[in-house]
Amino acid sequence: MSIGTKMMKNHSPFIIPSCDKSVAVIGAGPGGLAAAMQLAAAGMSVRVYEAQSVVGGRTRRITKGDYSFDCGPTFFLMPYVLEEIFSACGFRLSDFVELQRLDPMYRLIIGDRNDPPKIIETTQNVDEMVRRISEIEPADGPAFRRFMDDNRIKLERLTPVLKSRVRSIFDMITLEGLQAAPHVRPWESVYSQLGKYFKNPKVRLSVCFQAKYLGMSPYECPSIFSILPFIEYEYGIWHPTGGCNAITSAMARACEKMGVEIVTNSPVEKIAFDGSRVTGVIVDGHHHQHDRVVVNADGTWALKNLVPEKLRPRDSDETVDSRRYSCSTFMLYLGLKGAVDLPHHTIFMSSHYEDNFRDISHDGKLSEDPSAYVHNPSPLDPSLAPAGNSSLYVLLPVTNNQPSQCQLDWTVEKSRLREDAMRQLETVFGIKDIRSRIEVEHLVSPLDWQNERINHGATFNLAHNFNQMLHRRIPHTYPGLDGLHFVGGATHPGSGLPVIFLSSTITTRHICELHGIDHPLDAATMATA
């Protein structure tokens, strides 16, 4: 069964014996809040420490004047994954947030060095997508249907692995792991694998740009992630009213109903240990005692800054910093007078797309013709801007701040990037007179991300190259340290809201096992069997 295809029928809270244990969760992002919900439902006492003044982490709301924006994620996929967690905790997700399915899902603008860009409006209607792709390349339309059929099987085989704690390669030597193995194919990138389906390079790019969700190039992203476009077409793309930040706000409200304490403006300074055993966290110089700590802060930043180096010999600061990281992002949040004639999501792929990624991932420099993404939610969701106006989110992928890669001075380069973004908004996205329409503006550079306690400003965490997948990401339960756990994009299965929710379940299920109690999802399954 694919992820989340089974929905819970019983929405009554499940009675689980209390284990009388106190857990600190560091970070009120989606992974931390999902972990807090599940641990509270298991009967534990949970307190969430959040460094920002609001919940959400990179999924928080940014408010500027009368305009509101999502800070980070704007694509909400597979809502049934989160619905399972809400149901297991005695709630309905729909009672907390309104979800709207998007059609078109997004508009793709694929640049060409010699001809006008190719525009593809995407839809969940597979027959219609076959027709639209066939107009570009006749043989590629039917191949899209084959791609969907093959990846439906692929996701089904991979789902048990995505939901499991993988501590070493030996955890893969199971019936489910062996069934998944033929679909991993580490020697193939997403782009090269799609060459087996699609002849036209533009069609191929239109079905692999989703590697950007992981902060990676489709030319390097492992082929396992061809499931990302499949998931969009199979299950849809959704807009939560208020933005994706409404999801984390809903989780925070559910937490509070369950007795979870959430304290904002409370950056954790250190995790406290007695030898190798966790004893709590240090906040504002005070030791707050807890039996376990679940880290939802940026994973590699947390290792370097919250855990003494002598307690993690396999993860010295030098080792952590030498790992490969995702790209960063330059963000432009604009409150504009008047309406903007764009779909909810518009993705521009530069005619120098491959060069863009080489600049970002290897050369550490800015591109002359960068790719860009624009989120225009106001036509569907008027809650984000004054009546008749637009709340616009603009993202340009850029290099991260890893010293071995980047020598850019963002205090200087952000002016150039802003000008690049403005030029593209006018010429590529067709927004006329944009400069004169700006009422509020907020810029975020990789340096700003780094100052938010994100290692190297890499907004998508560790890269998802094959050497950093499965057990090679940060462990859910840190070996050798009693009571230290991790959730979020730096753990298995990786970045993106649905899989971050899965990581929270993997971690909290293991914590429940350590205390000999049922996990809420398991209790819910037994109750509805």
Name residues whose C-beta falls within 8 Å of residue 136's C-beta, 6 or more positions apart in sequence: 118, 120, 200, 202, 203
The per-residue pLDDT for 172 is 54
256 with 362, same domain?
A: no
The per-residue pLDDT for 261 is 97
What is the maximum alpha-carbon separation in the chain? 67
Please report whether residue 108 resides in a domain: no
Instruction: Cis check for the bond before 308: say yes or no (omega within 30 of 0).
Output: no
Please report whether residue 248 resides in a domain: yes
Residue listed under structure tokens 């991790």 = 486
CB 370 within 8 A of CB 397: yes
413 with 484, same domain?
A: no
User: Which one-letter amino acid corresponds to residue 200?
Assistant: N
CATH number for the domain spanning 337: value is 3.30.519
263 with 164, same domain?
A: no
User: Which one-letter amino acid corresponds to residue 98?
Assistant: E
218 with 283, same domain?
A: no
SS3 annotation, 139-177: CHHHHHHHHHHHHHHHHHHHHHHHCCCCCCHHHHCCHHH
The per-residue pLDDT for 13 is 43
Nearest to 200 by CA among 116, 144, 140: 140
SS3 annotation, 75-139: CEECHHHHHHHHHHCCCCHHHCCCEEECCCCCEEEECCCCCCCEEEECCCCHHHHHHHHHHHCCC
The per-residue pLDDT for 7 is 30
DSSP-derived pairing of the beta strands 286-289 and 277-283:
antiparallel
DSSP, res 7: P
415 with 521, same domain?
A: no
- Pairwise CA distance, residues 237 & 79, whole Å: 9
Please report whether residue 355 resides in a domain: yes
Please report whether residue 179 resides in a domain: yes
Please report whether residue 261 resides in a domain: yes
The per-residue pLDDT for 182 is 65
What is the number of structural domains in the chain? 3
Residue 246's Cα: distance from chain center in Å? 15
CATH number for the domain spanning 286: value is 3.50.50.60
- Pairwise CA distance, residues 214 & 500, whole Å: 12
Domain boundary among 200, 235, 270: 235
Q: Which residues pair with 442 in a beta bridge?
A: 333
What DSSP string describes 344-398? SEEEEE-TTHHHHHHIIIII----SS--EEEE--TTT-GGGSSTT-EEEEEEEEE
- Pairwise CA distance, residues 140 & 204, whole Å: 9
Let me know how long the chain is. 529
Name residues whose C-beta falls within 8 Å of residue 456's C-beta, 6 or more positions apart in sequence: 321, 325, 328, 400, 401, 402, 450
- Pairwise CA distance, residues 80 & 88, whole Å: 12
DSSP, res 1: -
CB 25 within 8 A of CB 296: yes
Please report whether residue 12 resides in a domain: no
Nearest to 524 by CA among 3, 14, 6, 18: 14
- Pairwise CA distance, residues 329 & 320, whole Å: 21
> How would you classify residue 366: left for phi > 0, otherwise alpha for psi between -120 and 50, otherwise beta?
beta
The per-residue pLDDT for 491 is 94
Residue 31's Cα: distance from chain center in Å? 10
524 with 511, same domain?
A: yes
Residue 180's Cα: distance from chain center in Å? 23
Range of the domain at 91: 22-100+242-322+462-528
348 with 450, same domain?
A: yes
Please report whether residue 107 resides in a domain: no
307 with 365, same domain?
A: no
Q: What is the dihedral angle through the alpha carbons of 403, 404, 405, 407, rounded to the nearest 10 degrees?
A: 50
351 with 385, same domain?
A: yes
Domain boundary among 425, 456, 487: 456
Instruction: Walk along the chain (529 residues) in steps of 10 and give the mean pLDDT of each run.
Output: 32 47 97 98 97 97 98 96 97 97 96 91 97 96 96 89 70 56 73 94 93 87 90 96 98 97 98 98 97 98 98 96 95 98 96 89 89 97 97 97 87 93 96 96 97 96 85 93 97 92 97 96 67
Domain boundary among 456, 483, 503: 456
The per-residue pLDDT for 186 is 65
- Pairwise CA distance, residues 155 & 227, whole Å: 6
| Exposure letters 171-190 (e unless 16+ CB within 10 A, then b) | ebeeeebeebeebbeeebbb
- Pairwise CA distance, residues 423 & 417, whole Å: 10
168 with 71, same domain?
A: no
79 with 147, same domain?
A: no
Please report whether residue 106 resides in a domain: no
DSSP-derived pairing of the beta strands 277-283 and 67-70:
unpaired
- Pairwise CA distance, residues 14 & 16, whole Å: 6
pTM attached to this predicted model: 0.93
348 with 447, same domain?
A: yes
Token pair of 387, please?
């009546």
